[in-house]
Amino acid sequence: MTHVTAGRHGLATLAAGVLLAGALLAAGPAAAQSKSAPAPAGGYEMHDGHFHLTNYIQEGTDIREFLKLMGNRVGRVALFGIPLQQMWAHENTGDFAPTYYLQTDAPLYYYSFTDAWIAMAYKSLSPAEQARFDPMITGFNPADMYAADHIRRVLKTFPGVFSGIGEFSIHKEFVSSKIAGETASLMNPALDRVLDFAGEVGLVVILHNDVDMPFPKAGQDPYLVPQLRDLLKRHPGTTVIWAHVGLGRVVQPVKGQLGMIERAAAAPELSHVYFDISWDQVAKYVISSPEATQATADLINRYPDRFLFGTDEVAPKDQVGYLKIYDMYAPLFAKLTPETKQKVLKGNYERLFDKARRDVRAWEKANL
């Protein structure tokens, strides 16, 4: 999830992003056009592979207002809320009503109603408007062996709606430790059940897992990297988009991050894994120096099918705010080949989510 500010520096090394794969050329089944914004003659500029309609207190932008923000620039959007609700604990903050997890010490808890909220917002739209969204299921606790059952129940309650699950988080700076109940882990079989089920159904997975802890001591073992690698290797039949390639507000690129991503992109056993370059906190590393930008562009140009653009905006109020990361990335986009840029901005999204729509609808037909 996105949000601003300051991270301390940018190492020249960072980078990354990801996107889908793909072979098709530009096209994809045309996102049908909304009457609110006819598709421009030259096609939309981008699809948004990572977007939160609502915030940590389950409030946000009306979906019709959001269609206006997409306007004639953003074609399709992977749409979700936030699985966690920030509790307003009066004994902790008194009459101050926190709207963000950094404003209070009160816990966060899983708020499954988010999935119904997103589904009903989607269902309120016309078919042409619906064609511009790929709703995602997020309201489950990934430390619960019953999490997969929640996902199945949502599909059963709202058939014809969802394309994937996520963004959900396992290790996330300042968030994971605030969640009430058992702490999520990459080694928890509950997570394996979720990924197995997603693979069976054809649901695209958007997984947030930091690449390291927020403030590692010098030389500290970045133990999350092998844990994540092993998890992904256990689920070769599940399409997983690694959100923000593991970076965060203060979680910085681990040494050699670009090399690590390149090894992952090159590994045949990880060919089902994609990388999302959403979040202004990721962009800040990529554009921190001309060298960082060039090295990132070189990597994406070598693996054009594996990286996806996304905004990671939360409940935006205007188009300028919504698309500020697109503008931040201008130096990166300028260094991509035309073909790579098209795939990162649109082609990979279309390939992954078109397939998910087909597969999930077929699974629903056969199983529900």
* Residues that bind Zn ion in the complex, under the rule CB under 5 A: 1, 167, 312
Q: Smallest distance, Å, CB 167 to Zn ion?
A: 5
Name the closest residue to Zn ion (Cβ). 1
**DSSP states along 311-346:** --EES-SSHHHHTHHHHHTHHHHTTS-HHHHHIIII
E strands of 213-265, at which residues? 240-242
Looking at this protein, which amino acid is placed at residue 151? I
Cα dist from 215 to 6, 313, 339, whole Å? 15, 25, 38
3-state helix, strand, coil in the chain (%, to 5): 40, 15, 45
Q: Smallest distance, Å, CB 120 to Zn ion?
A: 21
Nearer Cβ to Zn ion (167/210): 167
Nearer Cβ to Zn ion (28/164): 164
232, 196 in Cβ contact below 8 A?
no
Q: Smallest distance, Å, CB 237 to Zn ion?
A: 25
Structure tokens at 86: 């920030």
Nearer Cβ to Zn ion (49/202): 49
Q: Is the dihedral of CA 216, 221, 227, 233 positive or negative?
A: positive
Residue whose structure tokens are 């049908």: 32
Nearer Cβ to Zn ion (162/168): 168
Would you tell me the crossing angle of helices 113-123 and 147-157 to the nearest 10 degrees? 20
Q: Smallest distance, Å, CB 170 to Zn ion?
A: 14
Q: Smallest distance, Å, CB 207 to Zn ion?
A: 11
Nearer Cβ to Zn ion (81/304): 81
Q: Smallest distance, Å, CB 51 to Zn ion?
A: 8
**Closest among 89, 5, 46, 95 to 280, alpha carbons compared:** 5
**Closest among 322, 262, 258, 318 to 288, alpha carbons compared:** 258
280, 4 in Cβ contact below 8 A?
yes
Q: Smallest distance, Å, CB 311 to Zn ion?
A: 9
Nearer Cβ to Zn ion (3/73): 3
286, 15 in Cβ contact below 8 A?
yes
User: Based on the number of CB atoms within 10 Å of its own CB, is 351 exposed (0-12), middle (13-18) or buried (19 or more)?
Assistant: buried
Nearer Cβ to Zn ion (115/312): 312
Q: Is the dihedral of CA 241, 343, 3, 63 positive or negative?
A: negative
Bridging pattern class, strands 74-80 and 133-137: parallel
Q: Smallest distance, Å, CB 198 to Zn ion?
A: 18
Nearer Cβ to Zn ion (167/350): 167
Measure the CA–CA gap between 307 and 303, rounded to whole angstroms.
8
Nearer Cβ to Zn ion (212/312): 312
Nearer Cβ to Zn ion (37/244): 244
Structure tokens at 336: 């991509």
Q: Smallest distance, Å, CB 133 to Zn ion?
A: 16
Structure tokens at 202: 């054809």
Q: Smallest distance, Å, CB 2 to Zn ion?
A: 6
User: What letter does residue 180 receive in the DSSP assignment?
Assistant: S
